[in-house]
Chain A
Amino acid sequence: MWKQIPGLRQISQRTISTASRRQLGNRVPEKQKLFQEDNGIPVYLKGGVMDSLLYRLTMGLTAFGTAYVVYELLVASMPKKQK
């Protein structure tokens, strides 16, 4: 029975498949290659499609928010008509 244990240990050490090993391993070199590509794209958009979606969402919210808050502040600063 004791002779089976080294074999079992080998199996438990080899359970990670190639796909998940790529996820668990060091992906920094891939990222370095992606972000150092000489394509003129600024760093805040260089990661891909998600970057431009997030950027547009943020800009949209802040542009709308600026207009909204300036309007609300103007309304709040106007004197209310007393009856």
Chain B
Amino acid sequence: MAHQAHPFCMLNPNPWPISGAVAALLTTSGLAMWFHYNTLQPLALGLISMILVMLQWWRDIIRESTFQGHHTLPVQKGLRYGMILFITSEVFFFLGFFWAFFHSSLAPTPELGGQWPPTGIKPMNPMEVPLLNTAILLASGVTVTWAHHSITEGARKQAIQALSLTVLLGAYFKALQAMEYYEAPFSIADSVYGSTFFIATGFHGLHVIIGSSFLLICLLRLINFHFTPNHHFGFEAAAWYWHFVDVIWLFLYMTIYWWGS
């Protein structure tokens, strides 16, 4: 069998990029069709195909790395750049929603009663569940760092405990936030306050779901001996993403929950 004389990962041609693009087309068009024509089928088809593509594409990346050994140091370097660039793009995504919040809250219009929060809006008490959520995410940042140190030291049992605790804290945050959404005294339709609040915290919640799913996959891989003390980039990428989610929450808490109340 011929061996390559370079350190780069030459992929087999595979169908995931094109089917991922189709899944994105189906999801976006399906969303528009759900809004305008009240049909759910294209959206459902889009979401199902998106999940199928993600599962298979990422399964193949695990095969190429852990089972076939293609993730040499130069390849890992490229993956690190890629993850950092992706997280940076997500930072800009949230920057837009923070801009929208400050645009409306720094100079409240007469229609809002010239004040922020607008007249009639009863904001959530930032010292109640939102403060608990802040503590939960900060604690999960500590536990994920503990997990990382355990992995680099080869302490398998501790790493599993720490990462499991991180995933559990993420689940606790999601449960509390869902309850807060249900019990909220205002809705997304309640003026620009409701819009900015639920869009910003809603997209953050989606990122918590994505981040904790990523961490859960890492936990399963950790249990199955995929990581070594020197090579565990999948875990590092998940940890970076989780810290990003935590930082976004801190900004949300300080601006929308606390200053904005």
On A, residues with C-beta under 8 Å from B are 26-28, 31-32, 34-36, 38, 42-44, 46-47, 54-55, 57-59, 61-62, 64-66, 68-69, 72-73, 76
Contact B63 A69 (CB under 8 A): no
Contacts of B33 in A (CB 8 A): 72, 76
Closest Cβ neighbor of B33 among chain A residues: A72
* Binary flags per residue of B33-74, CB closer than 8 Å to A gives 1, else 0: 100110000100110110011011000100110111100000
Q: Is the CB of A44 within 8 A of B15?
A: yes
Who on chain B is nearest to A68 by CB? B42
- Pick the contact of B12 from A44, A58, A66 — CB < 8 Å? A44
| Residue in A closest to B52 when the chains form the complex, CB atoms | A58
Contact A65 B45 (CB under 8 A): yes
**In contact, A61 and B49 (Cβ under 8 angstroms):** yes
Most buried by A among B42, B49, B226: B49
B1 engages A69 (CB within 8 Å): no
A15 CB → nearest B CB, Å = 18
- Sample 12 A-B pairs with CB under 8 A, ordered by A number: A28-B226, A43-B11, A46-B63, A54-B56, A59-B19, A62-B18, A62-B22, A68-B45, A69-B29, A69-B42, A76-B33, A76-B37
Task: Report B6 CB to chain A, min CB distance, Å.
Answer: 18
**Contacting residues, chain A, for B36 (C-beta < 8 A):** 76
Give B1-35 as 1s and 0s: 1 = Cβ < 8 Å from A's Cβ atoms. Answer: 10000000001111110110011011001100100
Q: Are A55 and B15 neighbours in the complex by a CB distance under 8 Å?
A: yes
**Pair B25/A58 contact, Cβ less than 8 Å:** no
Given A35-B68, A58-B52, 13 additional A-B pairs, CB 8 A: A31-B63, A32-B68, A34-B67, A42-B14, A44-B15, A44-B56, A47-B63, A62-B19, A65-B42, A66-B22, A66-B25, A69-B29, A72-B42
Binding site for A on B (CB under 8 A): 1, 11-16, 18-19, 22-23, 25-26, 29-30, 33, 36-37, 42, 45-46, 48-49, 52-53, 55-56, 60, 63-64, 66-69, 224-226
Tell me if A28 and B19 are in contact (CB < 8 A): no
Given the interface contacts A31-B66, A38-B1, A44-B16, does A65 sit within 8 Å of B22 by beta carbon?
yes
B224 touches A28 (CB 8 A): yes
Q: Which of A27, A35, A54 interacts with B225 by CB under 8 Å? A: A27
Structural contact, A72 and B29, CB atoms closer than 8 A: yes
* Residue in chain A with minimal CB distance to B23: A62
Residue of chain A at shortest CB distance from B64:
A43
B56/A58 in contact, CB under 8 A: yes
Once A35-B67, A58-B53, A65-B45 are accepted as A-B contacts, the answer to whether A44 and B60 lie under 8 Å apart by CB is yes
By the criterion CB–CB under 8 Å, are B22 and A36 in contact? no
A59 contacts B68, C-beta separation under 8 Å: no
Q: Taking the nearest CB of chain B, how far is it from the CB of A57, in angstroms?
A: 7
